[in-house]
Structure 1
């Protein structure tokens, strides 16, 4: 073994075992914290954990579960487990009493071993709960029993229905029994931030990159769509997301990528006339804010024809799912997407002219 390889090996081991030590320490601290919370609860009040730590589209899709659990346990102290990056999605939810910022799954493993919670509602699939640093998987026994995995979960319904099944809230392959429209809890700070952007007039929001390559549409076709929109419609075009891959030369285009928090992005989408994007987190923001969506979708892995949404997008009342049978999103032609977008925009123009 060379000296360089020896240093790399022990550097990796140092970071791994330091992480594990911190996770375990934080797990014991969290156990003490929730034991204290439980002692302070009035007799008969339950301490309930809801676990959906990522991704942010999944957390939005699962939001109706918080209200459903609250309806089942009106006096309970409900704690939502989430990764720190997605804290704000749950922080203002009135159905949740406390948000736990999870360090990693090892921390949760140590915490749950103390049996401090009266009920744990796991909104996780089998093979869906992993810490790469600890190299630890935590399985959800309900998902294992019902055979709900990352390879077949859309066979069980939309995301909300799947999560409710993995949490043992509803029978296998059942419909969600309560209000299934996801909600966001936007604050004055989010509105004030977007006011500062001075987005004037009518605008369309685009989201052009997901966190999973098979869901994406090629950048050059997005560029063609932006150029076509700018040439044919009187809309400003606002791109949101982590970063942009577009090369665009038109005054109608504004790049807000990387400049906004998740809920600030939601406020931008809420103010838009239309949202055009992919099957990804921001499309769930559009569903939750009530903005009409045009969602570019396609066959995804084992799922040839699926709809991840509940609420109005799930019923296709406020959205057009732009897709063709069994084709992946990347194979949708520019002309096909343009035609679908044109149908929506032209219909909207006619309605506005008549009103």
Structure 2
């Protein structure tokens, strides 16, 4: 073994075992927090855990389960485990008493082994229960027994239906996701001085096979601006477009998740991919055009519940077995043209709530 390889090996081991030690320490601290909390809660109050840590579109899709679980446990203290970057989606939800920012799956696994929670709803399966630093997977026996894996999950329905099954809970009667927007989100978007009538677009997902080429997005933006009386606002983490003209606004990387949701809520239409912002659009009640394609083992699937799932408030633009990247521009333009050529009608329903 060379000196360089020796140093790399022990550097890796140092970071790995330091991470594991921290996870165990944080699990102990979390147990102490919940132990003290239990002593303070009224006698007989259950401590209920809900686990849906990522991604933010999945958390939005799972929101109806928060209301359903609250109905099942009206007097319980409900704790939702979530990654820190997605915490705002959970902490604004009035059906959740506490948003717990998870360090890693090892922390959660150690904490749950201590038996502090009276009931646990694991709304995810094995591939979402992995820590690459610890090199640890947490199993979900409910999902395993049902055969739900990363290779099969869309065979079991939309995301809400899948999460209900992995959590061992019945499907809620109301399957329309909601947002819980606050005044600070409205005030931030007010300050942007957005145009009165605009279309929101989202052009990059967190998974390349779901994307549509940037050159076609640019063609679509120019066509929209040339054809319709709407300006175009792009949202997302970053833009890969090269559009320099009046009527196009790039807000990428400038907004939080719920600030982005408020922008989408104000838009006349949403055009995007099968990704987090499309779930925001569903929950916000904005009519959507979703570019989709075959994904892995799924030649055709529908991740949405509510009015996007039924097709009442969106058009899923796709061809069975064809990846999103291969959708021709004309295939995308046609349904947009069919809807936008009609007189605009208010499509939004009171599916989101604002809290001060």
Give distance in 2, aligned partners of 1:351 and 1:184: 19
Please state whether the residue corresponding to 2:116 is helix, strand or coil. Answer: coil
**Aligned pairs, how many?**
347
- Deviation, 1:351, is 9.6
- Aligned with residue 276 of structure 2, among 267, 281, 303: 281
Residues 57/351 of structure 1: CA separation in 2 closer, same or farther (3 Å cut)? closer
Q: Any conservation in 1 of the 2:64–2:172 contact (CA below 8 Å)?
A: no
Give the TM-score of the pair, scaled to structure 2: 0.95
In structure 2, runs of 5+ residues without a counterpart are: 348-356
Please state whether the residue corresponding to 1:115 is helix, strand or coil. Answer: coil
Give distance in 1, aligned partners of 2:132 and 2:185: 33
- Aligned with residue 265 of structure 1, among 257, 260, 268: 260
- Deviation, 1:336, is 1.0
Residue number in structure 1 paired with 2:352: none
Q: Any conservation in 1 of the 2:66–2:96 contact (CA below 8 Å)?
A: yes
Q: Any conservation in 1 of the 2:65–2:172 contact (CA below 8 Å)?
A: no
Structure 1 residues 298-339: Cα deviation after superposition (integer angstroms, max 9, x where no partner)? 111111121101111011100000111221111100111111
Instruction: Select between 248-257 and 39-48 the one with higher mean Cα deviation.
Output: 39-48
Does the alignment pair 1:295 with 2:290?
Answer: yes
Give the TM-score of the pair, scaled to structure 1: 0.95
Instruction: Select between 277-286 and 39-48 the one with higher mean Cα deviation.
Output: 39-48
- Deviation, 1:222, is 0.3
Residue number in structure 2 paired with 1:173: none
Give distance in 1, aligned partners of 2:30 and 2:343: 52
Give distance in 2, aligned partners of 1:98 and 1:126: 24
Q: Any conservation in 2 of the 1:127–1:139 contact (CA below 8 Å)?
A: no
Give distance in 2, aligned partners of 1:87 and 1:240: 20
- Deviation, 1:9, is 2.2
In structure 1, runs of 5+ residues without a counterpart are: 171-175
Does the alignment pair 1:345 with 2:340?
Answer: yes
Give distance in 2, aligned partners of 1:212 and 1:246: 17
Give distance in 1, aligned partners of 2:147 and 2:6: 42
- Aligned with residue 223 of structure 1, among 180, 193, 218: 218
Residue number in structure 1 paired with 2:353: none
Give distance in 2, aligned partners of 1:351 and 1:54: 32
Structure 1 residues 34-90: Cα deviation after superposition (integer angstroms, max 9, x where no partner)? 111112222222110000000000000000101001111110110000000000000
Give distance in 2, aligned partners of 1:325 and 1:348: 30
Q: Any conservation in 1 of the 2:126–2:137 contact (CA below 8 Å)?
A: no
